[in-house]
Structure 1
Amino acid sequence: MKTPTSIRSRLSTSVVLIALVWSVAVTAAVWTVVRHEIDELQDSALDESAQIIFGLLSRHLQRTPLSDEQTTMPAPTHVEHLIWQVVDMNGRSVMRSHDAPERPLLDTRTPGLSNAGDAWRVVTMEIPGAENLVLHVAQDAGERREIGFEAAQYTAQFALGISLICVLWLRWRLKRELIPVAELSDAVRTFDPLDQRAALPAVTRVELEPMHHAITALSGRLIQRIANEKAFSAHAAHALRTPLAGLDAQLAVALRESPAELRPRLLRTRAAANRLQRVVTALLALFRSGSEPVMQSFCMHDLVTHLTFDGLTTTTDGVDCIRADPDLIAAALMNLLDNATRHHADSARITVREENGIIMRVSDNGSGIPPAKRAMLQQAISAQTYSEHTGLGLMLADLVARAHGGTLTLCDEAAGCSIELSLPYGSVDSGHS
């Protein structure tokens, strides 16, 4: 069976993906806008710088005529991020800054902004005068791209950082919001619809109200169905018990008055009727086992004396006077002893000891249970998967033990069969000890 996925992990993954997509989208949008604005700002700064250089060179050229040799403006040695050239009408650079190339940056003399390939962003300005000179002021295009890249990098880092903070916060909020779901699951896991004192806690989220109402309605339908089945079974068992008691009485009379050749058949018939009566009694106890046990003081010896089985000798040992539900205990013992007779036992011992309540052990010398089958039966009893695994006897005995807050255990025995019922709700009757 495929393992179901986690809502929390799916939502967390979605939040992370949304945050990443949002970061990339914001970075792309901001970078596009910033690059456009940075380009405009750099073009404006380049143009302003060109205006200043233009003014200074114009005054210099008015005072100092050009020579035939290339000259550079005097300045300290430094790395120039902005270069300039003065080019004559023949396309020869007659004056330039230190890092400017000797070749003209542009072959054209069109004033304004333009690109010199991928290397330079250039502003061209005409210098008035008879020499027909033009001024090229250029900025390194690689540096401009680096500035745009750094702006995009910082934007992406801040966007991813904010996204990471948002993801962590959303994961924390998601964990907090899923707590009511886990609490409701825990409450449903321990909720017993048959316990009248049990109730699901009120939900703290609107989204959980439909689930709460559905579970409550399902519990109501389950209680009603169980009540109907119990009522039907109880009525049916009561309706059968009276005729069976009459049948047993008539068979007893028939045994006394019948000829010898009919007695074996009548004995088998009476034994079958007695077994049917025990089954009916067990059914009555079975459909009472969902309710609280009726605790009373009684003596095990007296109770066992009335549980007679042909060919089976039953003895009691240990604590005699205890407090428990005598009807449920009698029904459980009756079915366990009946199982012993059907597995060829001729003696059984019922031992009671005090240990966290009381422990009742039923041992017989019958054919026993093979280890593999015993393990299978114990697993079915522990999981309460009685259908197609256990008979009525073990099922009823386990339900009786559970009604007393305990469990049923199939003991490992080399010969025969031993079954222990732990009854934490039971106790030793100190008034008769």
Structure 2
Amino acid sequence: MSARSLRRDLAIGLGAGLTVLWILAMLGATLILREELGEVYDSLMEETADRLLPFMGAEDIADLPPRAEVLLTWALHDAEGMRFSDDADPADFAPDPPEGFSTARDQRHFVRRSGGRVLDIASPLQERREALREVMTALILPALALLPLCLWGIVWFTNRRLRPVADLSTEVAGRSPGDLQALTTPALPAELLPVRDEMNRLMADLSEALAAERAFSANAAHELRTPIAATLAHVQLLRDAADGPLRDRADKAEGELKRVTRLAEKLLQLARAEHAGFVSGPVDVAPILQLVARDFGMSPEIPAAPVVLRIDPDAFAILARNLIENAVHHGRNAEIRLQADGTLVVANDGPVVPPGALAHLTRRFERAGARNAGSGLGLAIVAAVAGNAGFDLTLRSPRQGSVQGFEAIVGPKGGQGAGTLRR
């Protein structure tokens, strides 16, 4: 289930709320206007009756206005019978209407009695409905024209006020896994400040925990070097003085001690790789790669022009050594290639690493099933150096263009290994 958008929910909620309130306001305005128009028309009918009734005693009422401007008609009940105004429909008037206001046959009536005469003023309700419709049209049409502008304003205002949320999200998403510095997103609203402060507190705690772990690993590895070296020297002396089975055991002990020495060195490299930043001034890494590869008796494929990267030279040497060592120990026909854009490709023709194991090779002490080969820290060191140097690391198995082997690609973002850490 995908996450709901707060921006969308706010825009839709506020827009729907505004629309509903607008509709209710129009309905309320319609009811009020209908009542007010009814009162105005009734008042006009009453006033018309009061003004016409004194003239109704004349012998000749032909000069009386046959019809008012507001479509009023009348009927007069007296001793001579019933007389009607021009255009009056006799069917609209009752022979004995009740005094006051009443409604019949879609007509509004007002009856006034005086001196034996009864004046019945009639006004068509259709006229009132038309007047109400015209007034409401004059109100609704401008409101309808402004409603989209109001909805757009809600969307714009919502996006503007939620921009700090996007800025905070962008700052968090732009952090590398090892960057635990405090967040500094400016202009955050009061509601988001506790979120940022709690995230900063959490990252500070994580930074302290990671620093303690790295310090422990580095100190432990450093402290182990001297006693391991001393023990190795004693074992070598014992081996030289021993014969037969004892010498064989001394050889095995010497091998294990050398393995422990290499493990201590790897732990020191890992502690440094996870703790230090390796971005530095431009440096030509081609001679460094040649020097490291020479230790393994290999000749890398290097461009003729200098390959300049912004990385600490020691860090690049650590990265290259661990990649080459991994390729040599876990396969055959190792190849090293440095591209002009600074991408380093190290591959071999070893067995294919299963996808499940490939996804975990940058974990500490992960050997992809080869429990007796290597320390399981080489690719973890490579991943740490690449991350702190701002490089990308890609692991493939089988290697590109083959059905077997393993390939590691590391280089600046945007090169062949562009993207986040991939496997």
TM value normalised by structure 2 = 0.76
Contact kept? 1:282, 1:335, Cα under 8 Å: no
Indicate if the aligned counterparts of 2:393 and 2:411 stay in contact, CA closer than 8 A.
yes
Relative to 1, partners in 2 of residues 1:121 and 1:344: Cα closer, same or farther, differing over 3 Å? closer
Q: Is the 8 A contact 2:112 2:119 kept in 1?
A: yes
Task: Give the drift of 1:144.
Answer: 2.2
Seen in structure 2, the aligned counterparts of structure 1 residues 304 and 85 have a Cα distance that, compared at 3 Å, is closer
CA RMSD of aligned residues (A): 4.0
- What are the Cα deviations for residues 356-405 of structure 1, in whole angstroms up to 9, with x where unaligned? 33x4444445x3324x53x972x667xx7779796422222222333444
Task: Say whether 1:113 aligns with 2:97.
Answer: no
d(CA) in 2 for partners of 1:423, 1:264: 48
Match of 2:408 among 385, 405, 419: 419
Shift in Å at residue 10 of structure 1?
A: 1.4
Does the alignment pair 1:316 with 2:316?
no
Counterpart amino acid of 2:408? I
Amino acid at match of 2:168: L
Shift in CA distance, 184/385, structure 1 to aligned 2, threshold 3 Å: farther
Question: d(CA) in 2 for partners of 1:331 and 1:264?
Answer: 35
% identical aligned pairs: 23
Q: Which amino acid aligns with 2:228?
A: L
Aligned pairs (5 A) from 1:216-235: 216-235=200-219
**Counterpart of 1:140 in structure 2: which amino acid?**
P
Distance 1:407 1:247, change over 3 A: farther
Q: Which residue is equivalent to 2:421? A: none
Aligned to 1:369: 352
Partner of 2:88: 100
Q: Using a 3 Å threshold, how does the CA distance of structure 1 residues 135 and 167 change in structure 2: closer, same or farther?
A: same
Q: Secondary structure at the match of 1:244?
A: helix
Q: Structure 1's 325 and 40: CA in aligned 2 closer, same or farther, altered over 3 A?
A: same
Q: Contact between 1:80 and 1:99, CA under 8 Å: does it hold in 2?
A: no
Counterpart CA distance in 2 for 1:251 and 1:149 is 108
Q: CA separation in 2, counterparts of 1:78 and 1:327? A: 102
Question: In 2 relative to 1, CA 78–41 (structure 1 residues): closer, same or farther, beyond 3 Å?
Answer: closer
Matching of residue 138 in structure 1 with residue 138 in structure 2: no
Partner of 1:431: none
**CA deviation after TM superposition for structure 1 residue 186, in Å:** 0.9
Q: Does 1:251 align with 2:235?
A: yes
TM-score (norm 1): 0.74
CA change 1:355–1:104 in 2 (3 A) is closer
Q: Computing the radius of gyration over CA atoms, which structure comes out larger, 1 or 2?
A: 1
Structure 1 residue ranges (4+ consecutive) displaced by more than 6 angstroms after TM superposition: 72-80, 294-298, 320-323, 384-390
Residue 392 (str. 1) matches residue 377 (str. 2):
yes
Check whether the contact 1:286–1:396 (CA below 8 A) recurs between aligned residues: yes
Letter in 1 for 2:299: T
Q: Residues 364 and 214 (structure 1 numbering): CA distance in 2 closer, same or farther, change over 3 Å?
A: same
Tell me, what secondary structure is at the counterpart of 1:256? helix
Q: Is the 1:23–1:156 Cα contact (8 Å) retained in structure 2?
A: no
